[in-house]
Structure 1
Amino acid sequence: MSKIHRTVVRNERYRKNAISVRERHNERKNEVYSNPDVLLEYSYNNVIFKACEATTYAQQFDRMVEEGIVSTRGLKPDAYVFDELVFDVNTDYFETHGGYEYAKQFYAEVYELAKEIAGGEQYIISAVMHADERNREASDRLGRDVFHYHLHVVYLPVVEKQIRWSKRCKDPALRGTVRETIMQVSHSKKWPMVPMTDEQGQPVLKKNGKPRLVSSYSLLQTQFFEHMRQAGFTDFERGIQGSDAEHLEVLEYKVQKDRQTVAELSDQTKQLQSQRKELISQVKNISGSIRDVADIEQRAKTKGVLEKRVELMPQDFQTLCEMAKATGKLQAENRSLRMQLQQSAVREQESRKRLRRCEEQLDAVLTETRPYREAMRVAPEQVQAFVLGICRRQQEKKRLNRQQRRQRAKGQDR
């Protein structure tokens, strides 16, 4: 079964006091990552399409406001002022087209789309293609390190807003006319709510009959897909509208793969059952021919039997030969299908057991980490600093232990 390659893009929003978490991840400023597949020794392969001009994303935001490039007029103190686009295609797509070099060409074109979505490159804070996140499944399958290529684009969601003279203006001729045009930072105006539609383009309604609304960036899947196809990149399908697919953690990945395996085995079992039913039907269809054989036997007895030999007409003999061949072939196919069906049922049962174990482990992990995730949502910077401090102390402890072991080993050599 060939794997379907899909384009996926999602848009996330961030407040100014929370963007540093994304910044440290995107710019590889962390010393330790919760994802064990981030290999910093390969970070030199990451491709920077646009680097942040200031020391931090927040400082660059303040600089753009100060220089008048964007405006925060009318925004609440806790407003969402940063957006991040994450463009993605499954790993195997790039592996089948040349790997790293092809990924660089692909995401260079994606960056052109990102500039269009942001309204201009001047509103993009940072754009980097990650090439240092190892795909565990593909690496195990292919027997070498395989990396998952994707693009992070952090930008300011801006809309053009016209500021008009108020009715209190002393000059009657200016009242209601445009006084100035600003580029206002506003996530809600950049991405307003729009009616949700199904695959046929029909509106999706709530129970009360009103249309279900979604953020307009859920339509990015179509824009991403069509742009890349027009640019000459093919062999992939459009992602599901509104998809929020993310990089899976190890347990989530296992659960997903086991679910996929169970589904595939279920389909295989159904196909084998269907083939076996068709085979049984074929056996039943030859019952009429079996009656013909009984007639042949009766005619042979009527015409006479010489000791152990039976006299048959040539056409009767030919019929018996064909029936014998057909019956033997059908019996062999039936045995093969029965064996395949049994093996498929066993594999499906084992996969379901493995899936239940993985889901139980995932539930346990989610329950255990709930306080941490809640703390990350409320105070991401403090939690990140606390965790990094623990990791640094642990690394220092390991370093001291190694040093002590070396010193003891030297003392024993003397």
Structure 2
Amino acid sequence: MSKINRTVVRNERYRKNAISVRERHNERKNEVYSNPDVLLEHSHNNVIFQACEAPTYAQKFDRMVADGIVSTRGLKPDAYVFDELVFDVNTDYFETHGGYEYAKSFYAEAYKLAKEIAGGEQYIISAVMHADERNREASDRLGRDVFHYHLHVVYLPVVEKQIRWSKRCKDPALRGTVRETVMQVSHSKKWPMIPLTDEQGQPVLKKNGKPRLVSSYSQLQTRFFEHMQQAGFTDFERGIQGSTAQHLDVLEYKVQQDRQAVTMLADQKRQLQGQKKELVSQIGAISGSIRDVQDIEANAKVKGVLEKRVELPPQDYRTLCEMAKASGKLLAENRSLRKQLEQSRMRAQDLRQRLERCEVRLAALREETAPYREAMRTAPQQVQTFLLGIQRRQQAEQQLNRAQRRQRAKGQER
């Protein structure tokens, strides 16, 4: 079953008090992950294109504001001050082009685009290619560990802003002129809303006749695709422009993948059934020639019982040979199609069972985590502080247990 290689890039926005969640994921600061396919023993393969010089993303942001690199003038306290680009291509694309080394060169080129989008590397807080997230489906299919390579780039969305002298300036000549130019942090100005267009370039209208607006980063798919094509990376298609799909968590993604696999198998099953019907019709056409075969048999002359030979006219002999060859070929094709159809049925049944299990797990997880998600929505900083406290206590208990085990071991050696 062939797969389409497709580039994907998305841009997410974060408030300052919520960026630590992304930081712990990107920088692998957690000891345990909800995604069981994150294998920390392989994290040394992650490629860092830009390291955060400060202990945290938030502290790096504060330093840049204090040093005058960026300005927060006019920002509300709960403004979005961090953006994150996630560049991605499906796993099979890298596996067919060399794997890890090819992925490093691919995302090195993608990082060049990220620097252009951010307006310069000085505005990038962190950029890391993850190479420690195992692709379960590809690993099971190929019989070895296969990893899903993708790039996270956290940056500050800045735009150039001119500060002008006000009318209250004592010098009339300066009033209205540019006093200074600053790089203002502003997600809304970095990514303004633009009219959504269809495939023909025509604006998509709402029911009231007004144009439907989307964030300007919806054009990132085209920009990413064209940039990588021009750099020599090919054999993939561009992502879907104007998609409103939100980023799914790992379990939701796997549920979606299973649904797609079931759909693809259903399509394949329908194709096989169509081919089977075509073969049946061909066999029927051959069966329609039975009368000709009977006529040939009636006209055949048997020389003798001992010789057991049949004399046929040349045209009848050629007709029988052609029908015998066609019949053998069709029987072989029919057996092959029956086998493929049975395999597809078994595969579809297995995927439906996996899909049901995943949906049950997802529903249970959503129910269990509902209070946590509501708490994160209303008071993210307090929840993070609480969780960090629990994590520190667990680490302290682990260190104490290790120290006690070492002491007991030393006592036994004596």
Count of aligned positions: 411
Give 1:206 deviation, angstroms. 2.4
State the alpha-carbon separation in 2 of the partners of residues 90 and 332 from structure 1: 36
Q: 1:288-340: CA deviations, max 9, x gaps?
A: 6334335445656xx99989987643423432343344345434544553454
Residue 32 of structure 1 corresponds to which residue in structure 2? 32
Give 1:182 deviation, angstroms. 2.0
State the alpha-carbon separation in 2 of the partners of residues 23 and 338 from structure 1: 52
Q: 1:100-138: CA deviations, max 9, x gaps?
A: 333222222222111110111221222222233333333
> 2:138 corresponds to which letter in structure 1?
A
Secondary structure of the 1:63 match is helix
Residue 240 of structure 1 corresponds to which residue in structure 2? 240
Q: Please identify, of 184-193 and 170-179, the stretch whose mean Cα deviation from structure 2 is larger.
A: 170-179
Residue 280 of structure 1 corresponds to which residue in structure 2? 280
Residue 105 of structure 1 corresponds to which residue in structure 2? 105
Taking structure 1 as reference, are residues 371 and 287 closer, same or farther at Cα in structure 2, changes over 3 Å only? same
Instruction: Check the 8 A contact 2:196/2:242 in 1, yes or no.
Output: no
Instruction: Check the 8 A contact 1:32/1:391 in 2, yes or no.
Output: no
Unaligned ranges ≥5, structure 2: none
Q: Please identify, of 162-171 and 144-153, the stretch whose mean Cα deviation from structure 2 is larger.
A: 162-171
Q: Please identify, of 251-260 and 353-362, the stretch whose mean Cα deviation from structure 2 is larger.
A: 251-260
Secondary structure of the 1:3 match is coil
Give 1:280 deviation, angstroms. 2.4
State the alpha-carbon separation in 1 of the partners of residues 276 and 224 from structure 2: 44
Secondary structure of the 2:289 match is helix
Secondary structure of the 2:188 match is helix
Instruction: Check the 8 A contact 2:14/2:80 in 1, yes or no.
Output: yes
Give 1:263 deviation, angstroms. 1.9
Give 1:410 deviation, angstroms. 11
State whether structure 2 residue 206 is matched by structure 1 residue 206.
yes
Q: 1:379-408: CA deviations, max 9, x gaps?
A: 333323433444555566677788989999
Unaligned ranges ≥5, structure 1: none
Taking structure 1 as reference, are residues 390 and 143 closer, same or farther at Cα in structure 2, changes over 3 Å only? farther
Q: Please identify, of 382-391 and 207-216, the stretch whose mean Cα deviation from structure 2 is larger.
A: 382-391
Residue 217 of structure 2 corresponds to which residue in structure 1? 217
Instruction: Check the 8 A contact 1:8/1:245 in 2, yes or no.
Output: no
> 1:225 corresponds to which letter in structure 2?
F
Residue 151 of structure 1 corresponds to which residue in structure 2? 151
1:348-387 map, 5 Å: 348-387=348-387
**TM-score, normalised via structure 2 length:** 0.84
Give 1:242 deviation, angstroms. 4.4
1:283-362 map, 5 Å: 283-286=283-286, 289-296=289-296, 312-338=312-338, 340-362=340-362
Residue 160 of structure 1 corresponds to which residue in structure 2? 160
Q: 1:183-214: CA deviations, max 9, x gaps?
A: 21110010001122334434333233332211
State whether structure 2 residue 260 is matched by structure 1 residue 260.
yes
State the alpha-carbon separation in 2 of the partners of residues 311 and 39 from structure 1: 76
Instruction: Check the 8 A contact 1:21/1:380 in 2, yes or no.
Output: no
Residue 127 of structure 2 corresponds to which residue in structure 1? 127
Give 1:216 deviation, angstroms. 0.7
Taking structure 1 as reference, are residues 382 and 30 closer, same or farther at Cα in structure 2, changes over 3 Å only? farther
State the alpha-carbon separation in 2 of the partners of residues 400 and 178 from structure 1: 61
State the alpha-carbon separation in 2 of the partners of residues 75 and 329 from structure 1: 75
Residue 10 of structure 2 corresponds to which residue in structure 1? 10
Give 1:62 deviation, angstroms. 2.2
Q: Please identify, of 289-298 and 258-267, the stretch whose mean Cα deviation from structure 2 is larger.
A: 289-298
State the alpha-carbon separation in 2 of the partners of residues 361 and 34 from structure 1: 13
Taking structure 1 as reference, are residues 145 and 389 closer, same or farther at Cα in structure 2, changes over 3 Å only? farther
Instruction: Check the 8 A contact 1:12/1:83 in 2, yes or no.
Output: yes
Taking structure 1 as reference, are residues 350 and 127 closer, same or farther at Cα in structure 2, changes over 3 Å only? closer
Give 1:141 deviation, angstroms. 3.6
State the alpha-carbon separation in 2 of the partners of residues 29 and 339 from structure 1: 49
Secondary structure of the 1:354 match is helix
Q: 1:258-312: CA deviations, max 9, x gaps?
A: 2233122212211111112212222343466334335445656xx9998998764
Taking structure 1 as reference, are residues 354 and 324 closer, same or farther at Cα in structure 2, changes over 3 Å only? same
Taking structure 1 as reference, are residues 316 and 247 closer, same or farther at Cα in structure 2, changes over 3 Å only? same
Give 1:159 deviation, angstroms. 1.0
Taking structure 1 as reference, are residues 396 and 343 closer, same or farther at Cα in structure 2, changes over 3 Å only? same
Taking structure 1 as reference, are residues 208 and 145 closer, same or farther at Cα in structure 2, changes over 3 Å only? same
State the alpha-carbon separation in 1 of the partners of residues 371 and 197 from structure 2: 37
Taking structure 1 as reference, are residues 336 and 94 closer, same or farther at Cα in structure 2, changes over 3 Å only? closer
Residue 269 of structure 2 corresponds to which residue in structure 1? 269
Secondary structure of the 1:369 match is helix
State the alpha-carbon separation in 1 of the partners of residues 69 and 259 from structure 2: 49
Residue 193 of structure 2 corresponds to which residue in structure 1? 193
State the alpha-carbon separation in 2 of the partners of residues 198 and 208 from structure 1: 18
Instruction: Check the 8 A contact 1:6/1:238 in 2, yes or no.
Output: yes
Taking structure 1 as reference, are residues 135 and 331 closer, same or farther at Cα in structure 2, changes over 3 Å only? closer
State the alpha-carbon separation in 2 of the partners of residues 35 and 3 from structure 1: 24
State the alpha-carbon separation in 1 of the partners of residues 182 and 412 from structure 2: 75
Instruction: Check the 8 A contact 1:118/1:155 in 2, yes or no.
Output: yes
Secondary structure of the 2:326 match is helix
Taking structure 1 as reference, are residues 319 and 99 closer, same or farther at Cα in structure 2, changes over 3 Å only? closer
> 2:56 corresponds to which letter in structure 1?
T
Residue 89 of structure 2 corresponds to which residue in structure 1? 89
State the alpha-carbon separation in 2 of the partners of residues 144 and 237 from structure 1: 27
Taking structure 1 as reference, are residues 104 and 247 closer, same or farther at Cα in structure 2, changes over 3 Å only? farther
Identity of aligned residues (%): 82
